[in-house]
Amino acid sequence: MNHFLKLAQKRQSVRKYKSTPVEPEKITSCIEAARLAPSACNAQPWKFIVVDDPNIKNSLADKTADRILPLNHFTKQAPVHIVIVRESANISSQFGSAVKQKQFPFMDVAIAAEHICLQAADEGLGTCMMGWFNEGAVKKLLQIPKNKRIPLIITLGYPDTELKEEKQRKPFDQIISYNSYK
Amino acid sequence: MNHFLKLAQKRQSVRKYKSTPVEPEKITSCIEAARLAPSACNAQPWKFIVVDDPNIKNSLADKTADRILPLNHFTKQAPVHIVIVRESANISSQFGSAVKQKQFPFMDVAIAAEHICLQAADEGLGTCMMGWFNEGAVKKLLQIPKNKRIPLIITLGYPDTELKEEKQRKPFDQIISYNSYK
**Cα distance between residue B173 and residue B153, in whole Å:** 32
Confidence of residue A1 (pLDDT cuts 50, 70, 90): very low
Per-residue pLDDT, A72: 84
With respect to residue A9, please indicate whether it lies within any of the assigned structural domains: no
Element housing B60 (H / E): helix B54-64
Class of residue A169 by CB neighbours under 10 A (exposed 0-12, middle 13-18, buried 19+): middle
- Are B159 and A22 spatial neighbours (Cβ–Cβ below 8 Å)? no
B143: in domain? yes
Residue A100 in any domain: the answer is yes
Q: What is the pLDDT of residue B66?
A: 76
Whether residue B8 is contained in a domain is answered as: no
Domain-embedded: residue B12: no
| Cβ neighbours of B123 in A, within 8 Å | 1
By the 8 A CB rule, do B118 and B33 touch?
Answer: yes
Residue A5 CA neighbour count, 13 Å, CB half: 14
Phi-psi region of A143 (alpha: psi -120 to 50; beta: other; left: phi over 0): left
Confirm whether the ipTM is greater than 0.95: yes
Burial class (CB in 10 A: 0-12, 13-18, 19+), B122: buried
| Residue-level pLDDT at B111 | 98
Distances (CA, A) of A61 to A81, A141, B3, B52: 8, 11, 31, 47
Distance from CA of B164 to the nearest CA of A (A): 12
Range of the domain at B81: 20-160
Split into its structural domains, chain B has a count of 1
Query: Nearest-5° angle of CA A126, CA A165, CA A133?
Result: 40
Is pLDDT of B22 > 80?
yes
* Structural domain includes residue A93: yes
pTM higher than the cut 0.80: yes
Give pLDDT, residue B164: 80
The verdict on residue B26 lying in a domain is yes
What's the pLDDT at B119? Answer: 98
SS3 for A44? coil
pLDDT, mean of residues B140-164: 95
| Residues of chain B neighbouring A36 (CB-CB closer than 8 A) | 5, 8-9, 167, 169
Instruction: Please give, rounded to a whole number of angstroms, the shortest distance from the CA of B178 to a CA of chain A.
Output: 5
**Residue B49: CATH number of its domain:** 3.40.109.10
* A174 found inside a domain: no
Collect all residues of chain A within an 8 Å Cβ-Cβ radius of residue B29: 2, 5
- Closest residue in chain B to residue A141, using alpha carbons only: B180
